[in-house]
Amino acid sequence: MTDHSNHSVTNAMIDTIFKPRHTITRKISADIETIERNQFLIENILLMPKHEAWLKREIAVERAAATTRIEGANLDEAAVRALVRSGKVNLNENERANINAVGAYAFVDYLSDLPEQPLDELVIRQLNREFLLGIGHEATPGEMPGMYRNGQNTVGNHYMPPNQGDVPGLMRAFAAWLQSDTSVHPVIKSGIAHLEFVAIHPFWDGNGRVSRALATLILQRGGHGFKKLLSFEKVLWQTRDAYFRALDRTLGGSYRRDYDATHWLEFWTQTLVAHTTALAAKLTDWRRMMDDLYRDFDRLGLKHREIDALMFAVKVGPMTRSDYVEIAKVSPLTASRDLARLVDQGWLIAEGRTRDRIYHFTSPESMKPAKADPRQAELFDPSGTIAQE
């Protein structure tokens, strides 16, 4: 084994359960109280199942785009959304990373509903496989997705993870802690799990993505699922400089079992406060706006399935005929007729060729005067977006 004595860990230390060091400061306690309030509010906002499904589709895109962009991918949410819709088969590496991330988070959501499945090394290895399927390393001995690294890696230009020979023991200790320590608040546990996983960096690739997915899984398993609408990855992408600084300040230059996680946890709880507060506001606005829009669209004599489609176009974004088929539960032929009618009436603008056509919601200003309704004009601004109250 190569000698990395400055960060090597003795076997005696790694054959025990991982024991994190941290202090629950007043700031962390206050943040957890805020997160708990947001959790209660979000879980008690009544959403129609179909609307919740729409939101989850968007969250899948947000998670994938953000977690891959943190690692250097260059597709934004609009590009990932279009990619998911396209069904494209021949993918470049950035596209494959995002499609894999969508699948990996679907796996996380699935595991969240299986409390009998322990959060063990098998789950962690499978998460790594989900993120790296078809990306680069399959043909390289010792670098297969889901296999612990067989050499030394580095993080950035300055952090040295533990020696590869220590990784199996460290991961056993980490997995034992994940399964055994039920006294830790899920917010704290998710933050520590993210941090320790990044610190060990057990795989050649995909460590950051797995660490964030694991944090989501711990929160959702721990009764803090927020309707499975969490996308803190987006906040981490938006504040990535502070994110990396918090990791750097906590971990230092090389792996140590005795690092103090307090500073990182203050950043982590602050991130979750920001995200869950924004999510609570978004869902509250969504419910109020949906009630208003259903009432006003219904007055215009639209069919309920057409109203659903317009709601989707207003709140989620441009839709395809396939989207309409799924939303309205109709045949492709009926979907084509309905969409043509909505275009003729001025509610939608069609863009692109028939097979790949996308339908955008348009403002009442672009409607034919005979179709206009003065009540409707109050709901929309001239740009075609919902007027904010």
CA distance 141 to 162: 21
Do 212 and 332 reside in the same domain of the chain?
no
Looking up residue 40, the CATH number of its domain turns out to be 1.10.3290.10
320: domain range? Answer: 300-377
* Domain identity same for 223 and 337: no
Q: Where does a domain end: 227, 248, 281? A: 281
Q: How many Å apart are CA 190 and CA 172, to the nearest integer?
A: 17
- Would you give the DSSP letter of residue 166? G
At 366 the pLDDT is 39
Q: Is 242 among the domain residues?
A: yes
Average pLDDT over residues 125-131: 96
Q: Residue 362: count other Cβ atoms within 10 Å of its Cβ.
A: 17
Single-letter code of the amino acid located at 364: P
Per the structure, the count of domains in the chain is: 2
- Banded model confidence at residue 136, pLDDT cuts 50, 70, 90: low
CATH of the domain at 330: 1.10.10.10
Burial classification of residue 189, based on how many CB atoms lie within 10 Å of its CB (0-12 exposed, 13-18 middle, 19 or more buried): buried
Together in a domain, 29 and 126 = yes
Q: Give a yes or no: residue 362 inside a domain.
A: yes
**Range with the poorest average pLDDT among 77-91, 104-118, 190-204, 344-358:** 344-358
- What confidence tier does 225 reach under pLDDT thresholds 50, 70, 90? confident
Q: Is residue 13 part of a domain?
A: no
Q: CA torsion sign, 216 to 222 to 224 to 229?
A: positive
Mean pLDDT of 356-370: 65
Co-location of 304 and 160 in the same domain: no
Q: What is the mean pLDDT of residues 87-108?
A: 94
Do residue 60 and residue 125 come from a single domain?
yes
Q: Return the pLDDT at 226.
A: 93
- pLDDT-based confidence at residue 5 (cuts at 50, 70, 90): very low
370 found inside a domain: yes
Take residue 387 and report the two structure tokens written for it.
């007027």
Whether residues 223 and 258 share a domain: the answer is yes
Which of 122, 73, 123 lies closest to 101, judged by CA?
Answer: 73
- Cα–Cα distance for residue pair 131/140, rounded to 1 Å: 17
Q: Most confidently modeled of 48-62, 74-88, 158-172, 355-369?
A: 158-172
Confidence band for 316, pLDDT divided at 50, 70 and 90: confident
Reading the block at residue 64, the tokens are 């994938």
Res 197: pLDDT:
98
**CB-hemisphere CA count at 13 Å for 262?**
10
Q: Please write the tens of the pLDDT for every residue from 236-288.
A: 999 999 999 999 999 999 999 999 999 999 999 999 999 999 999 999 988 88
Beta bridge partner(s), residue 348? 361
Same domain, 265 and 180: yes
Q: Contact, 144 vs 252, CB < 8 A?
A: no
What mean pLDDT comes out for the span 345-356? 83
Q: What is the mean pLDDT of residues 53-78?
A: 93
Q: Are residues 219 and 305 in the same domain?
A: no
163, 254: one domain: yes
- pLDDT tier, 6 (very low <50, low <70, confident <90, very high otherwise): very low
47 part of a folded domain: yes
Tell me, yes or no, whether 332 lies in a domain: yes
User: Quick one: DSSP state of residue 162?
Assistant: P
Nearest to 237 by CA among 274, 205, 201: 274
- Is residue 8 assigned to a domain? no
Q: Is the pLDDT of residue 85 over 50?
A: yes
Q: What pTM was computed for the model?
A: 0.82
Instruction: Specify whether 331 is located in the same domain as 193.
Output: no
Please check whether residues 276 and 328 belong to one and the same domain.
no
Predicted local confidence at residue 4, as pLDDT: 40
Average pLDDT over residues 49-73: 92
Separation between Cα atoms, residue 31 and residue 33, nearest integer Å: 5
Look at residues 236, 251, 281 and tell me which one is the last residue of a structural domain: 281
CB 97 within 8 A of CB 208: no
CB-based contact 186:230 (threshold 8 Å): no
Q: Which of 23-27, 166-170, 185-189, 380-384 has the lowest mean pLDDT?
A: 380-384
Kindly tell me if the per-residue pLDDT of 389 is higher than 50: no
Is residue 53 in some structural domain? yes
Question: Of the residues 223, 253, 281, which one is the last residue of a structural domain?
Answer: 281
Query: Residues 242, 316: one domain?
Result: no
- pLDDT grade, residue 369 (50/70/90)? very low
Q: What is the DSSP letter of 184?
A: S
